[in-house]
Each structure stands twice: as structure tokens, then as C-alpha cells.
Structure 1
Amino acid sequence: MSDTKTMVPDKDALARVGREVRKRLKADRRVHKIPTDDAEIFALGEFATPNECQRLMHMIDVVAVPSTLYAGTEQEGFRTSYSGNFDSRDPFVAAISRRMDDTLGLKSALGETIQGQRYLPGQQFKPHHDFFFPGQSYWEDERRRGGQRSWTAMLFLNDVPAGGETEFPKLELAITPKEGVLLMWNNAGPDGVPNLSTLHAGTPVIDGAKYVITKWYRTRKWG
């Protein structure tokens, strides 16, 4: 038997989830595919109302603490934002979370707790991948907690006067934050292999502040 599954954990599940979400998003006329042949990135405008975005920004201010990295991957100055997890039992948070699930067509059980992030002038998140590298020390814990990350859903909560783009350097793409826009991407390719071209960064904010919420989806029940 081939050792591909050992070399690429959750390969079949990543391919299956990719097919399901791809079909769902392509059938949604509200969703726009970002032009690139090397990754699957989609955007949906007006996902959240201005009032909802303001409320979420206030919630981030309440829970925000200095952002962290996975054990063993720490680098000084790599992630300098503030972030915090929301209470998934909060009815407002749960409603936003369900809308994300419904947009992608994924079961709620696959989704991690929504995390809010705040970037002030000069703060950034240097280029990184959202999927997990099985060779890292954190992998065994994450394998038990739901396996590989499949899709990422990121909601921009405000316009940023300057800087703060979500940049995909390998794709030569930079997405400017716009209030209420939901950005979604597949962290794997159609074959279920994690896609190195999804390397992305939160570029330094130059003017103003940047607020986003992010939900990551696993291949199995999270947690």
C-alpha cells in the first residue's frame, strides 16, 4: 500500500472537502472567485452589515491580548497583532458563525472557535500558512483535535486607510480590507495536498487600524 496518506495526512479528506466547498461557492452568484490558477480564493461582499462589523470590533477590543504562535514556531516580530477567541455560546457570535458555515456548506462541528484580530499601525503577521506541517511538534495535538485545516474564512470588519492588506506573495495578490467582505480560501489543492501557494501575510498597517475575524475549518470534528 502507498505511504502517501502517511506522508500527507488527511489527503483524501482535504480533497473531498475541497470538492464540496468548491461546488457550493461556484453555485453562489454572490461569490466572486479571485483570478489565479494556483489557489482557490473566493470573496463575498456585504457578508456582514456595518452594525454587525462595529459590534464585532468592540468584541475584539474586549478579548484582545498579544497574538501567539504555535509552540516551536515562535519568531520575534513575526506576529505582532492582538487577538482573542470569541465565546461560541454567545447568540450573536453563533449566528455569524453559522452564516460562515452555510456560505461554505460546511458542518459547524468542523469549525474552530472564531478568533478576532486587531492590527494597529506597524503591526503585522509575516508570511505563513494556515495548514499544519506534520513535521512540527504541535502536529500530534492538532491531529487529535480535528486534523488538518481545510478552508479559511476571514471577515474584514473595517476599511483600512493604508496598509494591512492580506497578501499572497507567491500569487502576487494583495487583498485590501473592505468592511463586510468575507474572504475564503482552500488551504489545499484539488488533490488534497496542502497548497504552498496559499502562503499569506497580514502586511503592516500604515494608517488606522485593521479588524478581522477568522474561522478555520478542519477535516474532522474540531476539539
Structure 2
Amino acid sequence: MTRDGVQKVPSPKLTLFIRKQFLEPELCERIIDLIDASRRPSTVGDSNGDPLFRTSETCDLDSSDAAVAEVERRITAFTGIDPTHGEPVQGQRYEVGQEFKAHTDYFEPNGLDYDKYCSVAGQRTWTVMLYLNEPEAGGATRFRAVDKMVKPETGKLLAWNNLRLDGTPNPSTLHHAMKVRGGLKYVITKWFRERPWG
């Protein structure tokens, strides 16, 4: 995963890459329109009993759409991961005050839903997230373990490995989609698995 313009966050605690201007604004706008057309309240595997744990909206994006297919193609080319291991790409929309509190993307091996979510394709390995716009204020992604705050910028990519080198879940990937304080925030997320999806 070394490419021109890619920044690797210097930390032994996790593997995190940032690439600015991965998508051009026109493509981001097209995906934003798709999210707005089909958004619904976001869900979460384990809310820890907190009804406000994740307050965003989500959209399942259709890979038969040319814009979605192009984004998927670029993500696959960037990561080099077998596309059959990828979950369908999702869009998220955050209004003022909305957030996704500190969480990890992997499934807790001793969690209630582990077997349900991991029995077929296995654990989540990589997360690729793209900011589609820049809200007026707020909306940063905070990785507490490495004291890294990533500011939303149109077309910026974040990619991180949810697992350690030995294949166990890495708690240092804990991240917080912080509250939007002005405007709207749009992102897309694609997760990869240990085995082919579906």
C-alpha cells in the first residue's frame, strides 16, 4: 500500500494510511446524490445500551451504478485486496449534532453477534473510508490511541488494518466520528473480510 501522495501515520500501534484528493469533487457529488436519495437511520452491531451511540444515516450503494463501480475499482486498485473479500460499499450522512461514538470496525470475538456476522466471511480486516465533502465545522475522525485527528476534506481517503500482524483484533483502531457542528458530512465506507463475502 505505498503510493504517491500516501501518508502513513507513524505509529507502531496501528497501520493507518491517508491519501488526499483520491476522488475528484464531481464524483463525490454524484455519490452524495445517491446517498441523499436512499438514506435510512444507521444501525450498529452493539450500541452498548446507548441509543445515541450512532446517530447518522446510512445508504447501501448499488455497485451497478457507474459512479459506485468506479469508486470500488479505485479502492480495489489502491488496496490490492481481492475484491471478492469486500463488503458492499456504504454511504453515511451526518447532520449537525450527529456522530458515531468511539468504536472499532471489527467484531468482538466474545460478542453476542460474532457468529452471526463472522461465520461466513470471517473477521473484518481493512476499512477504507472516503470523505465526500467538507462540513462547515466539526466531523473529524479521531483515533485516540495514536492521538490523531483527521479532518474531513473532499475526496480524502483513510485506510486502516483492523487487525494486528498476528491476525487478532487491534483495539488501537478505536475511532470516533465526531459531531458535526456546521453543515453536513458525507462519507463512504468499504470493509474487507478474511474470506470472500457472501
The TM-score by the shorter chain falls in which range?
over 0.9
Aligned counterparts, 1:179-218, within 5 A = 179-218=154-193
1:145 corresponds to which letter in structure 2?
V
- Provide the residue aligned with 1:12 in structure 2: none
- Provide the residue aligned with 2:138 in structure 1: 163
Unmatched runs of 5 consecutive residues or more in structure 2: none
Post-superposition CA distance 1:118-167 (Å, at most 9, x none): 00100000000001112122111222331100000000011122110011
- Provide the residue aligned with 1:130 in structure 2: 105
TM-score by length of 1: 0.85
Q: Is the counterpart of residue 86 in structure 1 residue 61 in structure 2?
A: yes
Q: Is the counterpart of residue 140 in structure 1 residue 115 in structure 2?
A: yes
Q: For residue 71 of structure 1, report the CA deviation from its aligned partner.
A: 5.9
| Secondary structure class of the residue paired with 1:61 | helix
| Secondary structure class of the residue paired with 1:43 | strand
Does the aligned pair in 2 maintain the 1:111–1:222 contact within 8 Å? Answer: yes
Q: For residue 216 of structure 1, report the CA deviation from its aligned partner.
A: 0.3
Aligned counterparts of 1:145 and 1:54: Cα–Cα separation in 2: 34
- Provide the residue aligned with 1:62 in structure 2: 37
1:172 corresponds to which letter in structure 2?
D
- Provide the residue aligned with 1:100 in structure 2: 75
Aligned counterparts of 1:197 and 1:72: Cα–Cα separation in 2: 19
Aligned counterparts of 1:75 and 1:205: Cα–Cα separation in 2: 19
1:30 corresponds to which letter in structure 2?
G
| Secondary structure class of the residue paired with 1:123 | coil
Aligned counterparts of 2:153 and 2:53: Cα–Cα separation in 1: 24
Instruction: Considering fraction of residues, name the structure with more helix.
Output: 1
Does the aligned pair in 2 maintain the 1:72–1:137 contact within 8 Å? Answer: no
Number of aligned residues: 198
Post-superposition CA distance 1:8-27 (Å, at most 9, x none): xxxxxxxxxxxxxxxxx13x
1:156 corresponds to which letter in structure 2?
Y
Q: 1:174 and 1:71, CA in 2 relative to 1: closer, same or farther beyond 3 A?
A: closer
Does the aligned pair in 2 maintain the 1:150–1:186 contact within 8 Å? Answer: yes
RMSD: 1.4
1:180 corresponds to which letter in structure 2?
G
Aligned counterparts of 1:30 and 1:72: Cα–Cα separation in 2: 36
Does the aligned pair in 2 maintain the 1:72–1:136 contact within 8 Å? Answer: no
